[in-house]
Amino acid sequence: MACKADLVVSDQFPTGLRVLVVDDDITCLRILEQMLRRCMYRVTTCSQATVAMNLLRERKGCFDVVLSDVHMPDMDGFKLLELVGLEMDLPVIMMSADGRTSAVMRGIRHGACDYLIKPIREEELKNIWQHVVRKKWNENKEQEHSGSLDDNDQHKRGSDDVEYDFSATEGAEELLITQKRRRDAKEENEELENDDSGTAKKPRVVWSVELHQQFVSAVNQLGIDKAVPKRILELMNVPGLTRENVASHLQKFRLYLRRLSGVAQQQGGFPNSYCGPVEQNAKAGTLGRFDIQALAASGQIPPQTLAALQAELLGQPTGSRALTGMDQPLLQASLLGTKSIPVDHGVTYGQPLMRCPSNISKQFPQTVLTVEDVHSGLGVWPSNDLGVVGASSNLGGLGAQSGNILMGMLPQHQHPCQQQQQQLKQSIVPEPSRSINVQPSCLVVASQSSASFQSGKSPASVNQNSFSKGCVIDYRHLSPQSNNSSVVAGLLSDGDVRRTSVLNGCGGPGSISPSVSSCSINADSSAGRHFSGVSPNISGVQGSYCSTSGQLLDQVPLRNLGFVGKGISIPSRFAVDEPGSPTSNLNCGKIYGERNGNKVKQEPRMDFVENVKVDIPILQNFSANDLTSVFSE
Amino acid sequence: MLGLGADRLRADMNRLLAFLFHQGVLDEQFLQLQQLQDESSPNFVSEVVNIYFHESEKLLRNLRGLVLEREFSDYKKMGIHLNQLIGSSSSIGAKRLTNICVAFRAASDQNNPTACLRALELLEHEYCYLKNKLHEFFQIEQQRVMAAGVRYPIQN
């Protein structure tokens, strides 16, 4: 494929957008390729992430946007996202069959430009160009602000970029306005993502291990709260490095930290959605299988999880991490937001921070934007000596508002620093009304809607306000139980049925109302200890996904198939119609019945064999072996 | 006469499709696939569907292996396979099959071996049905193309 961008712009912008699609699912890959071709994009497909990375590295500047699946065997999609963000700084759009809010949230946190849920429609693909343009506009705007560059730099990115700028004026104006708003929201990080005026060619400074190490020590010295680019730059004392470089790197760093905490938080909750090598938190493991973030948020991230997490992010073997005994003091320090965080210690992330996922698009623009606009390009963080600051870093990064929430939502820890935690939290708890804004910005799907797999699928695009339906999770009816399994089981008694009905509200800590806060779902026994008001609930809320209709789907077949837990207490409010119904095959029977019924009306040509077992005379390609092998016990 | 044959076959195809839609076996995504077919990719739908069958059978075999394992415990792996199956099935519009997969995934999340086994059976059943029907569909299509081709000169 030609590396030069021969864009035919004119009326047909964004024709010729160069897209790289990465997905191990060949079916989807082929379909996407066809769809993208129809959008007049130039498509390259790849079924392996490692191959894709090589392709991107070899042909830098030859792609405009990357579409990647989340679950891939050789590399986690989010890892690819990081690497691409770090090395090539291209917009990356994630795709997944998993449309659960939690999964989408992960995508957002990792800095994906967008998150598409399969099956992907052509219309969604038509829109991906906006991410490219937005990014470029952002960067250009930053350049203007920093005043160090001119139009030449735009050309450096490839000739077609200029064309994007010129020909996209109409759409771009809107983008500009959006960006302006966003920019106001995150002033501190305004001057980012721009070029180093020192290096003529490549706009990005390469953050080597040593450089990053210097950066981190500077940050730790200053304290993550007080770490401003200017001071960091001074401390680092690296010739040729500009404040802008540091600023953009700082933003990425913060993003990285935030994501670490988020990821760590979810370790226990995603048995199958997170394919990284991180082992599940032993504690969370008891609840572990269940996709409830609350469980993961139960508290402690053991050193090995952190280590594994860090290792996974850095692409290094977990064995090389040495974290034992380090995280406690670091956590403690981080909780208190002290400056004296030793640099030489490994990653310390005991604080799974609560997010406000459902509120993100509305209430906390800062949060979203920092996530969105800056890729968590983390590919090459240095190894052992990374002193990662914990919770407080995020507080520093976000506005006070969200910071309060985060602090207020910190789940309990089995730490000596609990006390301080409590104090901190208690001091903040009284302000839930300010910080935790229970607003309609929840992802909700009415539980009574039909289970059409496609119809209600809410595109998890962060650009759309899919978080628009208002609802409050009412966890009142879920009794706080110290017994993990029963709570969880209760939650999942009807498999996802529970999930869907429970989660008929906002799926995130941000959506907590004071009333809800009174009850504690936190399955972890340590739940009761801390928060007088807010947090236990948060853990519970966190664990909920707003049900998309994709989840409702779970409801339907489950009911049909009768996969219901046995003897689990189901709070009446969320009771499913037929818990533990013996009529497991009912619907299947119905289906078959339908078929038979229809059979009568249809022409003889429709030859349904009831148990499609073997003989399908009209089918040629279908060997009997296929069928019998499938059915053979 | 031949033209009539082609038309009749087309009608049969449509009827089959309508039926499958009615049953919920297929959904509108399948229509999207059809719309993606054009002169540059005249066999797009059958191509994709065949890829799908090929890949799915691998996944189904793996799933079967996992479910029937004596030490039946690798739910995570099961979940991974299921995710992929969900992705591809929904992408071609196999709605009913996707539903079963989703339920299967839920059972797997619950670590419920009985439910998983049952889901597997249903899944395999549905898969066979779908495959049959789609094969039928493509057969009719083939006949239709041939019938139409005989009457009208083939272009390109």
Mean pLDDT across B102-111: 90
Token pair recorded at residue B142: 């083939």
Chain B residues with beta carbon closer than 8 angstroms to that of A550: 102
CA dist., res. B70 & res. A278, Å (int): 26
Tell me what pLDDT residue B128 has: 96
Number of neighbouring beta carbons within 10 Å of residue A202: 11
Token pair recorded at residue A525: 């026994």
Angstroms from A141 CA to nearest CA on chain B = 38
Which CATH code for domain A18-142?
3.40.50.2300
Strand partners, A94: A68, A115
Token pair recorded at residue A179: 């960006």
Residue whose C-alpha is closest to residue A156's, from A42, A15, A241, A61: A61
Chain B residues with beta carbon closer than 8 angstroms to that of A603: 12, 15
Yes or no: say if A240 and A198 are a contact pair by the CB < 8 Å rule: yes
CA dist., res. A230 & res. A255, Å (int): 19
- Chain B residue with minimum CA distance to A275: B80
Mean pLDDT across A106-133: 87
Chain A residues with beta carbon closer than 8 angstroms to that of B118: 561, 563, 584
Tell me what pLDDT residue A263 has: 60
- Chain B residue with minimum CA distance to A118: B87
Give Rg (Cα) of chain B.
Answer: 18
Tell me what pLDDT residue A266 has: 52
Q: Where are the beta strands (DSSP E) in A229-308?
A: none
Residues in B 11-40 with any Cβ partner in A closer than 8 A? 12, 15-16, 19, 22-24, 27-29, 32-33, 36, 38, 40
Yes or no: say if A85 and A372 are a contact pair by the CB < 8 Å rule: no
Strand partners, A93: A67, A114
CB contact A602 to B (< 8 Å)? yes
CB within 8 Å: B111 and A289: yes
Q: Which domain holds residue B70?
A: 44-146
Estimate to the nearest angstrom the gap between the alpha carbon of A245 and the chain centroid: 26
Tell me how many domains chain B contains: 1
CA dist., res. A314 & res. A318, Å (int): 10
CA dist., res. A118 & res. A98, Å (int): 8
Residues in B 66-105 with any Cβ partner in A closer than 8 A? 75-76, 78-80, 82-84, 86-88, 90-93, 95-96, 98-100, 102-103, 105
The one-letter amino acid at B1: M
Tell me what pLDDT residue A110 has: 85
> Distances from the Cα of B92 to the Cαs of A120, A468, B96, in angstroms?
10, 29, 11
Tell me what pLDDT residue A247 has: 85
Strand partners, A19: A43, A65
CB contact A450 to B (< 8 Å)? no
Token pair recorded at residue B5: 């044959």
Query: In chain A, pLDDT over 70 holds for what percent of residues?
Result: 29
List, as one string, the DSSP characters of chain B. -HHHHHHHHHHHHHHHHHHHHHHTSB-HHHHHHHHH--SSSTTHHHHHHHHHHHHHHHHHHHHHHHHT-TT---HHHHHHHHHHHHHHHHHHTBHHHHHHHHHHHHHHHTT-HHHHHHHHHHHHHHHHHHHHHHHHHHHHHHHHHHHHHHHSPPP-
pLDDT level of residue B61 (50, 70, 90 thresholds): very high
Mean pLDDT of chain B: 88
Token pair recorded at residue B60: 């189904």
Query: In chain B, pLDDT over 90 holds for what percent of residues?
Result: 61
Give the pLDDT confidence of A275-310 residue by residue, as tens digits: 334 444 444 334 334 434 444 444 444 545 444 444
**SS3 of residue A413 by DSSP:** coil
Lowest mean per-residue pLDDT among A126-130, A172-176, B49-53: A172-176
Residue whose C-alpha is closest to residue A46's, from A382, A38, A58: A58
Task: State the fold for domain A209-262.
Answer: Arc Repressor Mutant, subunit A (1.10.10)
CA dist., res. A549 & res. A528, Å (int): 33
Angstroms from B5 CA to nearest CA on chain A = 15
Chain B residues with beta carbon closer than 8 angstroms to that of A496: 102-103, 106, 109
CB within 8 Å: B29 and A454: yes
- Chain B residue with minimum CA distance to A451: B99
Yes or no: say if A35 and A125 are a contact pair by the CB < 8 Å rule: yes
Sequence-distant (6+) residues with CB within 8 A of B102 are A453, A496, A550, A553, A554, A557, B86
| Most confidently modeled range among A23-37, A72-86, A209-223, A556-570 | A23-37
B66 in a structural domain = yes
B63 in a structural domain = yes
Angle between helices A535-542 and A400-409 (to 10 degrees): 90
Token pair recorded at residue A489: 């089981």
**Looking at the predicted structure, is the pLDDT value of residue B96 above 90?**
yes
| Most confidently modeled range among A182-186, A482-486, B139-143 | B139-143
CA dist., res. A561 & res. B118, Å (int): 8
Tokens 């010129």 sit at which residue?
Answer: A166
List, as one string, the DSSP characters of A451-472. --TTTTPPP--TTTT-TTB---
Angle between helices A243-266 and A209-222 (to 10 degrees): 80
Angstroms from A540 CA to nearest CA on chain B = 18
Tell me what pLDDT residue A205 has: 67
Q: Show me where the domains of chain A are located.
A: 18-142, 209-262
CB within 8 Å: B92 and A291: no
Peptide bond into A119 cis (omega under 30): yes
Identify which of B88, B122, B125 has the shortest CB distance to residue A28.
B88
**SS3 of residue A534 by DSSP:** coil
pLDDT level of residue A103 (50, 70, 90 thresholds): confident
Residues in A 480-519 with any Cβ partner in B closer than 8 A? 492, 495-496
Mean pLDDT across A370-390: 40
**Looking at the predicted structure, is the pLDDT value of residue A258 above 70?**
yes
Yes or no: say if A480 and A488 are a contact pair by the CB < 8 Å rule: no
Angstroms from B102 CA to nearest CA on chain A = 6
Give the pLDDT confidence of A160-179 residue by residue, as tens digits: 444 444 344 444 444 444 44
Yes or no: say if A549 and A451 are a contact pair by the CB < 8 Å rule: yes
Tell me what pLDDT residue B153 has: 56
Tell me what pLDDT residue B44 has: 93
Chain B residues with beta carbon closer than 8 angstroms to that of A453: 27, 90, 95, 98-99, 102
pLDDT level of residue B69 (50, 70, 90 thresholds): confident
Tell me what pLDDT residue B98 has: 94
Residues in A 319-348 with any Cβ partner in B closer than 8 A? none
CA dist., res. A116 & res. A127, Å (int): 11
B151 in a structural domain = no
Mean pLDDT of chain A: 55
Choose, out of B13, B110, B122, the residue to mutate when testing the contact with A (most A CBs < 10 Å).
B110
CB contact B124 to A (< 8 Å)? yes
Identify the residue with better confidence: A138 or A382. Answer: A138
CATH code for position B135:
1.20.120.160
Q: In what order do the strands lie in the sheet with A92-96?
A: A42-46, A18-22, A65-69, A92-96, A114-117
The one-letter amino acid at A215: F
**Looking at the predicted structure, is the pLDDT value of residue B62 above 50?**
yes
| Most confidently modeled range among A375-389, A444-458, A525-539, B117-131 | B117-131
Query: In chain A, pLDDT over 90 holds for what percent of residues?
Result: 7
CA dist., res. A376 & res. A363, Å (int): 22
Tell me what pLDDT residue A147 has: 53
Give the pLDDT confidence of A322-360 residue by residue, as tens digits: 444 444 444 444 444 444 444 444 444 444 444 444 444
Mean pLDDT across A382-395: 39
B81 in a structural domain = yes
Give the pLDDT confidence of A434-475 residue by residue, as tens digits: 444 444 444 333 434 333 333 334 433 334 443 334 444 444
> Distances from the Cα of A479 to the Cαs of A484, A487, A520, A572, in angstroms?
12, 8, 7, 11
pLDDT level of residue A261 (50, 70, 90 thresholds): confident
Mean pLDDT across A538-566: 40
Yes or no: say if B133 and B21 are a contact pair by the CB < 8 Å rule: no
pTM greater than 0.80: no
Sequence-distant (6+) residues with CB within 8 A of A33 are A21, A43, A45
CB contact A620 to B (< 8 Å)? yes
Mean pLDDT across A32-51: 92
B25 in a structural domain = no
B17 in a structural domain = no
CA dist., res. A395 & res. A229, Å (int): 17
